[in-house]
Chain A
Amino acid sequence: AIQMTQSPSSLSASVGDRITITCRASQGLGDDLSWYQKKPGAAPKALIRDASTLQNGVPSRFSGGGSGTDFTLTISSLQAEDFATYYCLQDRSHPWTFGQGTKVEFK
């Protein structure tokens, strides 16, 4: 199975900060990677598919990049509602695998 290594596991930031989360795959994915936001008590929300395509309704401050084995999720100006845990998912080949998650906390 493809292993996904996500970093950092947590980060502290303030409203207005620019943050970047990284996912590294154990083998090449092309652009078959998606990103999700998870808040406590809520269902996960899809943010990005195909490594860089924003899902409908997702604010433009979110962006995704990368291909092959290295991918990034960037929030250009953190808002209060963005404090959550973020996960990458490789959908290149089954079994699909998530990264371990990055918890974005208020500094």
Chain B
Amino acid sequence: GENVEQHPSTLSVQEGDSAVIKCTYSDSASNYFPWYKQELGKRPQLIIDIRSNVGEKKDQRIAVTLNKTAKHFSLHITETQPEDSAVYFCAATYSNYQLIWGAGTKLIIKP
């Protein structure tokens, strides 16, 4: 079936450094790729999303890039801060417009 693979499962970076999380998807018809952040004990919240007609999107310190040919998309966080520590989920639409979710990446920001 369709799936979304997310890597790495855990990422530890020094405060101030950049973090990159990558996802690959299998459905070539996927056209919507959101990223959600879930802090410990809290609900997932959308932080950025991109559609298939765009290659890159930025919002302050976060950016998402999409490579439709290779069927992968990435989340980039620059100048990481302690409050960036969380679990990040990527997702992609399936052909019937259902979202398929990645398994999550636990991002740890070391002081």
B is a partner of A:
no
